Structures are given as structure tokens and as C-alpha cells.
Amino acid sequence: MKRRSISATFLLYIGLAVTMFFIVFPFFWLVSSSLKTSQEIFAIHQTFIPKKITFTNFIYAFSGSPGPNIGPLMNNSITVAVFTAIITLFFAATGGYAVGRLHFPGLQTFVIFIMIAQMFQGPVIMVPWYKMAARMGILNTKTGLVLIYLTSTIPVAVWLMSGFFKGIPKEMEEAATIDGCGKLRTFFQIILPLVKGGLVAVGIYSFILAWNDYQYALILTTSEKAKTVQLGIAELMGGIGQINWGGIMACGVIVTIPVIILFGCVQRYLIEGLTAGAVKG
């Protein structure tokens, strides 16, 4: 039995190592290529480590012409992603609490509506949303992007958070009421701290969805004041003439940095939240 256990553990680690290789290797190759010259990128005999490290590609990424001037585009993406995450967290906390803890007429209908809402995303709502945004005067604005991202993030966030709130014993609220805590104080000081893992998971999910989006930004934005970094990179790849692949690689590295930092800061809470939400929901 002990040998079987050791063999199973060994095979598990081998499987994890192979999986991590396929996940991490493309990113390392991206970083390596961003530090190479154009000649080395297209060399017949490729090397993983650059023979001559250059930062020309990163200078190109932040330059205005012919580069994409990625700085303002990054600012647009960060602004949209942060506001999407904050607003989603508000509705996830309040809506999730209502669905998970309260009983009111039409609750089941509301839950079904939340689930159905996920079926109407992407191309299905593109044309109607474009017309709505044009009439409301929010076409080609960061506000329009935030609003359309919320149609995707809020239903999932409310459903996920309802599972966390359901897992909290009702006796805790009753004890807080006996101690003289009002509804709002109990909610903010007792209940929310217990579901911080779920809130972190929801916040990360919302941020990543808005950060990585391309299709909505392509339809709803056209100018530099609202264009996101994903559009900027796509335009580099679709440009006429010689494509600066080194510059595109550098842009890819720059775009991943905020996400890596975010994951590094909240990794423990994210794993906690996703696991607990799957069990409790």
C-alpha cells in the first residue's frame, strides 16, 4: 500500500509538472522574445535565452509613432477594469446576501433570471447594446464599457456570493442582534468579513473579464480616449506592412504585469474563495 501511495504521488507530481510546463512555457517564451532583436526572433536556430538582450521593443511599445503608445491604453484598461470590479463587488455583496439569506416572494424567479442572463452575452447583445449606447450618448466612452461588462459580471457574482452567505450560520446574526447590533452594522462588521474569500474571487473575476475583453471594446470604442490595450495590440498585428513582432511581444509582457501583481497579492484569498464557493453553492 505504501509503494502504491508513493507511486500515485509521484505520478501526480509528474502530471502537475507537465501541466505547468504547457501553461508557463509560452509566457517565458514571450518574455524571452520581447528581449530579442528582430533578427534573432526570426533566426533559423532559435534559442530560449537571448544572445543579446535589448529593450528596444519596450521603448517601441511606449512610443507614439510608429509604436502603439501603450501607456494611455493601459490607463483606459485599468480604469475600466477597476470600476467594473468595484461596482460588481457592491452588487455581489448586497444581491448575494439577499439571495442567500433572505426569503421574499419571487426569489426563485430572480435566481432563474440570473442564470438565464448568462445565456445572452457576446454577439447576442452586440447590436442592441450598440444602439442603446448610441442613444444614451455613452458610445466610445469608458462608461459604456463598464456598463456592458457589468451585464456579465453581476449575475455570476451574485450567484457565487449567495453560496457564501448561505454557509454562514444564522445564529451569528441572531447573537449580534441580541448584543444590540443593527442590520447594517451586523452586515458590515460580522457578515462581510466572513465572506472575504468570495469577495476577492468575485473582484478578481470581474477585473480579469474587463481586462481581457476584446469583442465589446472593438464594437463600442474607436478613439484613444476609451480604446483599451487589447485593441491596441490587435491593431499592431493587423497593420499593413512589416509587423514588429518584438514590439508585440513586449506589449504582451507589459499587459500581463498588472494581472500577475494582482494574483500575487490575493492568491491565497482567491483559492480560498473559489473552493469554498464551489462547496457551499
| CA quadruple 148, 251, 33, 261: dihedral, nearest 10 | -70
- Residue 255 is predicted with a pLDDT of 92
Residue given cell 441572531 in the structure block: 174
Q: Do 219 and 148 share a structural domain?
A: yes
Q: Do 106 and 199 share a structural domain?
A: yes
CATH of the domain at 130: 1.10.3720.10
Q: Do residues 40 and 233 touch, judged by C-beta distance below 8 A?
A: no
Q: Do 82 and 38 share a structural domain?
A: no
Q: What does the H/E/C string look like for the chain?
A: CHHHHHHHHHHHHHHHHHHHHHHHHHHHHHHHHHCCCHHHHCCCCCCCCCCCCCCHHHHHHHCCCCCCCHHHHHHHHHHHHHHHHHHHHHHHHHHHHHHHHCCCCCHHHHHHHHHHHCCCCCHHHHHHHHHHHHHHCCCCCHHHHHHHHHHHHHHHHHHHHHHHHHCCCHHHHHHHHHCCCCHHHHHHHHHHHHCHHHHHHHHHHHHHHHHHCCHHHHHHCCCCCCCCHHHHHHHHHCCCCCCCHHHHHHHHHHHHHHHHHHHHHHHHHHHHHHHHHHHHC
Strands (E), 57-187: none
Q: Do 254 and 131 share a structural domain?
A: yes
Q: Do 169 and 97 share a structural domain?
A: yes
For the entire predicted model, the pTM comes to: 0.84
- Residue 278 is predicted with a pLDDT of 45
Cis peptide before 155 (omega within 30 of 0): no
Q: Do 114 and 22 share a structural domain?
A: no
- Residue 281 is predicted with a pLDDT of 42
Q: Do 93 and 232 share a structural domain?
A: yes
Q: Do 120 and 32 share a structural domain?
A: no
Residue 65 domain-assigned (yes or no): no
* Domain ranges, residue 8: 1-54
Residue 175 domain-assigned (yes or no): yes
Q: Do 83 and 50 share a structural domain?
A: no
- Strand, coil or helix: what is 194? helix
Query: For every one of its 281 residues, what pLDDT tens digit does the chain have, with 9 covering 90 and above?
Result: 566 677 778 888 898 889 888 888 888 999 999 999 888 988 888 888 888 899 999 999 998 777 788 999 999 999 999 999 999 999 999 989 988 888 778 777 877 887 777 777 777 788 888 888 899 999 999 999 999 999 889 998 998 898 888 888 888 888 888 888 888 888 888 888 888 888 988 999 999 999 999 989 998 998 888 999 999 888 887 665 578 889 999 999 999 999 888 888 877 766 665 555 444 44
Kind and range of the H or E element at 210? helix 196-212
| Amino acid at position 235, single letter | E
- What is the count of structural domains for the chain? 2
